[in-house]
Structure 1
Amino acid sequence: MKPIYAILLLFFSCQMAWAEEPEDNDKNKTDAMLFGDVKSGEEHIPFATVTIKGTTIGTAADATGHFKMSHLPLGKQVVVISAIGYQTLEKEVKMEAKKSITILAELEPDNIGIEQVVVSADRNAKSRKETPTIVNSINPKLFDRVQSVTLSEGLNFSPGLRMENNCQNCGFSQVRMNGLEGPYSQILINSRPVFSGLAGVYGLELIPANMIERVEVIRGGGSSMYGSNAIAGTINLITKDPVTNSFETSVNNSFVGAGSDYDAVSDYNININGSFVTDDYKTGMSIFGFHRKRDPFDANRDGFSELASINNTTIGARFYQRVANRGKITVDYFNINEDRRGGNKYELPLHESDISESVQHQINSGALNFDQLLRDNDKFSAFVSMQGVDRGSYYGAEQDPSAYGHTEDLTYAAGLQYIRSIGYLLFSPATITSGIETSGSSLKDEKLGYYDAAEDVHYGNTQIADQGMTNYGAFVQSEWKTEKVVFSAGLRYDHYKIEEKIEHSDDVNGNVISPRVSLLYNIAEHLQFRSSFGRGFRAPQIFDEDLHIETSGSRKVLHENDPDLKQESSNSFTASIDYSNEFGDWQYQLLVEGFYTQLVDPFANEYGTPDENGTVIYTRVNAEDGARVQGINIELNASPSQKFQLQSGFTIQKSEFEAEQEFGEKRFFRTPNTYGYLSANISPTPVFDIALTGNYTGKMLVPYFGPELANPEVGELRESDSFFDTGIKLCYHFRLSDYMKVELSGGVKNIFNSYQEDFDTGIDRDPSYVYGPLSPRTIYFGIKIGSLY
């Protein structure tokens, strides 16, 4: 399906659904009013969200915790009151024409997110405790505690996730989930798969933390309903929704490498957020802006960077319009403009430096979504999302004028979804979720020509890749719920086609059926058992590694797919025990999850030998005997009061091929068998917070192809050290008025400078010989000013 057809289908569907419930202005003016006071103990809760269940009617409490709503539907209505850090409350009221009701909403603290609402489990909002699939959520508070400027650093604080840097020159990074590398995880933006392989090369460091409301993570095959590349799981970025009139701006400056033998460099950023809503809360808009400038960092003073320079400006907005009482249109847009450069001689043009890896990104991403509530609890949704990436690049060494490149990529997704609640199906009430989707991309990558003055020759552009990919999917899932059991079973069908437009390349297509089964069993009031099975696949398309080139003075590494490369499939199993309880003011949760993923025809690399120009081809092939990943995730969260919260997680795993691969080794490279995190927040007084964080990374196998070896092209396999990266952040905040606050903060990341010490040096270095924490000791300071929301 072409994007234009998808857009037309979306608007046609919106009109049809809208027509089911036309707006009647006279009918809506009921003069039925609701007043309320939102508190927790003796404290009022400012800016709590208040909605009428089964409608799109909503409002927010003011700075004193009070709210009012007018012209509400008549009859019995359920009022839903929610606020970050508190359990959601539902109250039933009976509304009558020209009469008012006042309610007192007493919210219970939820310091560790036991009752948080999530949407990623089955594409429908519900409490985390009611989902048969485990969903972990990373909220803005955690991003603040760890001083995460972009999405990348915050992902280290979710069980089973680990961020890593893969290139000494430019900072190509990826997230590993349950031991599987980045392309095994599906990155979603507001539940839509428009985060392309090209955007994914540096994407997790491109997205600013201030545009994110929360990140929801599903590990394992339970995420197969989201389509391809969801073998390890999904990471769903949910952008900020306008709730009330508010604004916030912050300025932070960091000194990377401070207090050590390095020459510290500056990493400066400014964030702006604002939201605006009309008095009737039918229309709202949120905006955000972000600017970051980081200087290149040289850890071993050899003149070549270990962390690239970054100059990033991002702007975006979300707009919504409520349609009658039960419809809503949402529009999202953001633009990312980033330059990054690594190597040496930054003051010179790219082709005059000894090594330079540089990219200039222009990314435009937009989405249109329509939701219509039908009957009592049914919901129809239609959406279309697009992302365009324009990238200029230079990956070259020794003043190579032919290393300039240009890449264009357009990714789109569109679909329809319907959620139907049934009073009784087979053996209990059920909710059926079904939908159709189409997605695709068009990617063109070319090497730019140049003029050789010595030879008086003009070299033309060379097409490197010209690929189109389309995918048509359909899914259906039913979830049955009883007092003790929640059981869901689903099936997804995908037909993909990869069209290679370069001469002598063959098209690839396939049909995939992905089943999914999940079970939640409430063993006791506070003890839950979950289990799931799901199948997934990866199509043999261009991946993010293929769009990044490792460059040095001695060799250049390119990634290619074998012409006979087949799709990769997986069978994923998980089982967990989750205990959560409250005792007095204490809240605590312990989760132990076992996972096992079997990979069929897994992708593996065959290392080529350098040609006369030093170019090495890494060819992606299917390993003959498969691979498996297995392990345990442990999550412990505890809070004795609102003054102290502890979150922690630890992973023990084993990832290996069934037959020996490179270097005669079965184990996956760059994958530690143990890793984990902790985050603690202490509030000794209402105006002062202390955040303590830590990340542990165990030993791992890292290939090395550098000049220290007698035969660098053969390489050797090394075992890294283990690392423990600790940090502290201090925050002092005070009110300027009832509606305005100021926050002063400062802290240190990686206090003990637990950082790689054997970076390769010089022009012939191996730039991919990188492991351990993302950055050295870093000291930072910041100021934030904004409304209380």
Structure 2
Amino acid sequence: MILKKQVKQICALLALCAIPFQGGMADTVTGRVVSEGEPVPYANVTVKGTTIGIAADKDGNYRLSGVPSGSRVVEVRAMGYGSTQKTVSVIDGQEVELNFSLSTSALRGNEIVVTGSRDEVPRKESPVIVSTVSGEELTEVVQAATVSEGLNFATGLRVENDCQNCGFNQLRMNGLEGPYSQILIDGRAVFSAVAGVYGLELIPTNMIERIEVVRGGGSALYGSNAIGGTVNLILKDPVVNSYEFSGTSGWVGVGGDDFDDAANDYTATLNASVVSSDNKMGMTVFGFYRDRDPFDANSDGFSELPEITNTTLGLRAFRKIGDRGKLTADFFTIDEDRRGGNDFDAVEHEADIAESIKQRFINGALTYSQYLRDYDKLSLYIATQHIDRDAYYGAEKQLDAYGHTDDLSLQLGAQYKAVFGPSQVIAGVENNREWLEDDKLGYYDIDTDTHVPETPVADQESNIVGVFGEYQYTWDKLKATLGLRWDNYDITNEISPDADISDDILLPRATLLYSFSDDLQARLSYAAGYRAPQIFDEDLHIESSGSRRVIYVNDPDLTEETSRSYMASVDYDTMVGDVDFGFLVEGFYTELEDPFAIEIGEPDVDGNVIYTRYNAEGAVVKGVNLEAHVIPSSMLGMRAGFTVQSSKFDNPQDVNDSGSIREEKFLRSPDTYGFITLDWEPVDRVGIALTGNYTGEMLVPYFGPEIADPDEGELRKSDAFFDAGLKVRYTVPVDDAGLQFYAGVKNIFNSYQDDFDSGIDRDPGYVYGPMSPRTFYIGMKFGNLL
């Protein structure tokens, strides 16, 4: 009923948006975009408050037709230059010339971001700090094949591998684990808990325009899970007619000059865009293929990194409707096979250990945007994600370790932005629904008459209805924002109907932004967050790879986990001569109330163990993020970030089943970590990139055969690591295109864990440090925008 009602509301709003915009006569604006006298090719030129826009040609010339008469704001964006805008008076029957001269480097404050306020604004005007990593930096500098490889280069973020067998990795933000981070795809919260298990290693970087990161509570805007922060994956838009192909060969785990034991890693990418001459329609397509062999770090016959085969295909298309309407469609599908363990040539149940996943992701979205009045904007959207996963998680040749997961997420929403002089209001409604069924052969009894499974691992349906609003007012240099979100969540569980949960929650947010000057801003913010109860979590199948059969249930008294986040920052960006320089100091303090914890039951005669999720006492995460960049010219740029933080429970928590080991610090959470990137073009056509990731010491639990009682386990302190990378690229002009050759090495000094557990009885969760060992690669790229 909720979905039917909301669909009717959205249809009614779509009918309203069909009313044509009544403006004045249309005329033409022409001009040229340059930087230091040189043309800026393919800059994106748009008229604010409309969908009128065009891409400049390779010489920087543009021609905007059909511009309504009157005072208009024209904005120019170009990769590597940020954005700028000018006001022009468009007169009936006249052609207006408007030229732009852009800075040689992209001032960080001039970047257009959307995640901090659900609206496009320059970064320096965002009510909260939004950090960005561009798609160009991910592919040209970091040489990241997937999103998981690139998120380490955003301040306050760290991606870790948590399983030797399946290669599950998770994102930590400001010291908090993966479930506390909200992953968005173009602002849509359809990235489910199931997707979070392997999804970040599935999404290729060649489909990403940029990644936006908002640290701290974001539930007031984006709902459940946005406690540690929000990561918004923004897909590439079709801007100009373009094409690009690339192929890379890599060797993972090279020791010295020895390539014999290295694992091969091959990737190929495809990107192509086509845009109509009047810029009314456009489409971009992308493809990605990866084939990586398993890697065995300690030569015990069992993998530390799983083998992966990934095929991704997708597209984005738009159609402009009149001067103020735009319809955008997105679709991509990912097919992946991954397997870890040993005996890779045998079927799964013939191996000593096998964690094998064959899965398909299908993701689609449809968005309609309509400008009303001058800058008011209505957005209607629907997004969905479906995951179909066959899996085997077993040891010692278990026949009953096969399983299947079916997960469907759906989001419907509407948002309206209204501007009244110094005031702005953004309000909307969203409905997020998820259906999850997770079956495993060994987790239930088979009915002898119907041969139908009686007890799946999880059979859950959740529905969250949210209404949000935010009011913003600007007094000269001070901008204040007050926001509130009401969510009603309803979670039903077929396995344990007594544990069905339904509740309402209010989530306030308040921010203050004071601009001392155009270069210096200070911010204060408070935000409440929450995490709705669920069954499926990252740890579900990690435990089930052993001999115990784990069934997760919710305690009947389980309630949502809540948080209060406080943040303060000073952000400085300026030009000193021709040098773009900036730094950020950001303090954060997050209190968790009723955090989820697990009570482990006693195994029954069949080896089944009930894991009950309950509310524990609170925890506090606090620290400081530091970020800096220096860009002396368009030929050289450096960016760095560093985090110092503390993550502790109010009281020590059980580390093992018996409770003999208790610890107040968050496990696998270092107190210090950071990154640095440097990109240099010493001469024309040649580029050199240097990267580094630092990971401090952390506490890691170990439950393996190296100790007398593996069930009791022990806590170990890891070493600190520094993962350095080097890449060299050379581009050769070929007619109107370019051919680029590149080569490099990741983790130059092989700063990698050296005490992995061994053999069939190993602890697969005893993993820490950088995700990959030393890796050499070579490749080539061909495209008309190189």
Query: TM-score, normalization: structure 1?
Result: 0.95
**Aligned match for 1:667, one of 665, 668, 687:** 665
Q: Distance in 2 between matches of 1:212 and 1:445?
A: 30
Q: Distance in 1 between matches of 2:114 and 2:242?
A: 25
**Aligned match for 1:748, one of 738, 745, 750:** 745
Aligned to 2:563: 570
Q: 1:71 to 1:457 in 2, by over 3 A?
A: closer
Contact 2:575 2:581 in 1 (8 A): yes
Contact 2:330 2:365 in 1 (8 A): yes
Aligned residues: 774
Q: Which stretch shifts more, 64-73 or 301-310?
A: 64-73
Q: Secondary structure at the match of 2:193?
A: coil
Aligned to 1:200: 196
Q: Distance in 1 between matches of 2:565 and 2:347?
A: 49
Q: Over residues 741-762 of structure 1, what are the superposed CA-to-partner deviations in whole Å (9 max), with x where a residue is unaligned?
A: 1111110000000000010000
**Aligned match for 1:482, one of 469, 475, 478:** 475
Q: 1:765 to 1:460 in 2, by over 3 A?
A: farther
Residue 70 of structure 1: how far off its partner (Å): 2.3
Q: 1:340 to 1:142 in 2, by over 3 A?
A: same
Contact 2:583 2:626 in 1 (8 A): yes
Contact 1:553 1:763 in 2 (8 A): no
The letter of the residue matching 1:122 is S
**Aligned match for 1:586, one of 579, 585, 592:** 579
Q: Distance in 1 between matches of 2:354 and 2:152?
A: 29
Q: Distance in 2 between matches of 1:128 and 1:147?
A: 26
Residue 3 of structure 1: how far off its partner (Å): 4.6
The letter of the residue matching 1:470 is N
Contact 1:553 1:765 in 2 (8 A): no
Alignment of 1:182 with 2:178, yes or no, is yes
Contact 2:458 2:536 in 1 (8 A): no
Q: Secondary structure at the match of 1:445?
A: strand
The letter of the residue matching 1:45 is V
Aligned to 1:734: 732
**Aligned match for 1:401, one of 393, 399, 402:** 399
Residue 93 of structure 1: how far off its partner (Å): 2.5
Aligned to 2:67: 72
Aligned to 1:777: 774
Alignment of 1:139 with 2:134, yes or no, is yes
Q: Distance in 2 between matches of 1:710 and 1:449?
A: 29
Q: Distance in 2 between matches of 1:393 and 1:2?
A: 33
The letter of the residue matching 2:21 is E
Alignment of 1:150 with 2:151, yes or no, is no
Q: Distance in 2 between matches of 1:205 and 1:703?
A: 24
Q: 1:525 to 1:103 in 2, by over 3 A?
A: closer
Q: Distance in 2 between matches of 1:422 and 1:483?
A: 15
Q: Distance in 1 between matches of 2:728 and 2:451?
A: 57
Residue 66 of structure 1: how far off its partner (Å): 1.2
Q: Secondary structure at the match of 1:665?
A: strand
Counterpart mapping for 1:665-744 below 5 A: 665-737=663-735, 739-744=736-741
Aligned to 1:528: 521
Q: Which stretch shifts more, 102-111 or 533-542?
A: 102-111
Q: 1:63 to 1:399 in 2, by over 3 A?
A: same
Residue 587 of structure 1: how far off its partner (Å): 1.0
Q: Distance in 1 between matches of 2:326 and 2:219?
A: 26
Counterpart mapping for 1:649-664 below 5 A: 649-662=641-654, 663-664=661-662
Residue 259 of structure 1: how far off its partner (Å): 3.2
Q: Distance in 1 between matches of 2:7 and 2:402?
A: 36
Residue 7 of structure 1: how far off its partner (Å): 4.2
Residue 102 of structure 1: how far off its partner (Å): 2.6
For structure 1, the residue ranges without an aligned partner over 5 or more in a row are 424-428
Counterpart mapping for 1:256-267 below 5 A: 256-260=252-256, 263-267=261-265
**Aligned match for 2:164, one of 152, 162, 168:** 168
Aligned to 1:368: 366
Aligned to 2:783: 786
Q: 1:709 to 1:259 in 2, by over 3 A?
A: closer
Q: Secondary structure at the match of 2:71?
A: strand
Counterpart mapping for 1:436-451 below 5 A: 436-448=429-441
Contact 1:395 1:403 in 2 (8 A): yes
Residue 608 of structure 1: how far off its partner (Å): 4.9
Residue 421 of structure 1: how far off its partner (Å): 0.6
Q: Secondary structure at the match of 1:345?
A: coil
Residue 533 of structure 1: how far off its partner (Å): 0.3
**Aligned match for 2:247, one of 247, 251, 276:** 251
Q: Distance in 2 between matches of 1:179 and 1:232?
A: 8
Alignment of 1:359 with 2:357, yes or no, is yes
Contact 2:496 2:553 in 1 (8 A): no
Contact 1:242 1:318 in 2 (8 A): yes
Contact 2:535 2:552 in 1 (8 A): no
Contact 1:197 1:542 in 2 (8 A): no
Alignment of 1:233 with 2:225, yes or no, is no
Counterpart mapping for 1:163-562 below 5 A: 163-222=159-218, 224-260=220-256, 263-423=261-421, 429-448=422-441, 460-461=452-453, 462-502=455-495, 504-545=497-538, 547-550=540-543, 555=548, 559-562=552-555
For structure 2, the residue ranges without an aligned partner over 5 or more in a row are 655-660
Aligned to 2:658: none
The letter of the residue matching 1:84 is M
Q: Distance in 2 between matches of 1:450 and 1:656?
A: 34
The letter of the residue matching 1:727 is G
Q: 1:543 to 1:521 in 2, by over 3 A?
A: farther
Q: Distance in 2 between matches of 1:356 and 1:136?
A: 39
Residue 483 of structure 1: how far off its partner (Å): 2.2
Residue 141 of structure 1: how far off its partner (Å): 2.2
Q: Over residues 340-395 of structure 1, what are the superposed CA-to-partner deviations in whole Å (9 max), with x where a residue is unaligned?
A: 11111111111111110011111111111111100111111111111111111110
Residue 564 of structure 1: how far off its partner (Å): 3.0
Contact 2:700 2:715 in 1 (8 A): yes
Query: TM-score, normalization: structure 2?
Result: 0.95
Residue 52 of structure 1: how far off its partner (Å): 1.1
Counterpart mapping for 1:72-91 below 5 A: 72-91=67-86
The letter of the residue matching 1:169 is N
Residue 103 of structure 1: how far off its partner (Å): 2.7
Q: Distance in 1 between matches of 2:314 and 2:577?
A: 43
Residue 765 of structure 1: how far off its partner (Å): 0.5
Q: Distance in 2 between matches of 1:699 and 1:457?
A: 56
Percent identity for Structure 1 against Structure 2: 50
Q: 1:703 to 1:457 in 2, by over 3 A?
A: farther
Aligned to 2:622: 630
Q: Over the residues paired in the alignment, what is the CA RMSD in angstroms?
A: 2.1
Q: Distance in 2 between matches of 1:401 and 1:191?
A: 42
Q: 1:574 to 1:463 in 2, by over 3 A?
A: same
Q: Secondary structure at the match of 1:153?
A: helix
Aligned to 2:657: none
Q: Distance in 1 between matches of 2:243 and 2:3?
A: 35
Q: Over residues 570-605 of structure 1, what are the superposed CA-to-partner deviations in whole Å (9 max), with x where a residue is unaligned?
A: 000000111221111111111111100000111223
Q: Distance in 2 between matches of 1:273 and 1:695?
A: 29
Q: Distance in 1 between matches of 2:431 and 2:352?
A: 45
Residue 20 of structure 1: how far off its partner (Å): 4.8
Aligned to 1:426: none
The letter of the residue matching 1:656 is K
Q: Which stretch shifts more, 112-121 or 67-76?
A: 67-76
Q: Distance in 2 between matches of 1:761 and 1:559?
A: 28
Q: Secondary structure at the match of 1:788?
A: coil
Residue 551 of structure 1: how far off its partner (Å): 5.1
Q: Secondary structure at the match of 1:55?
A: coil
Q: Secondary structure at the match of 1:400?
A: coil
Q: Distance in 1 between matches of 2:243 and 2:578?
A: 33
Residue 227 of structure 1: how far off its partner (Å): 0.6
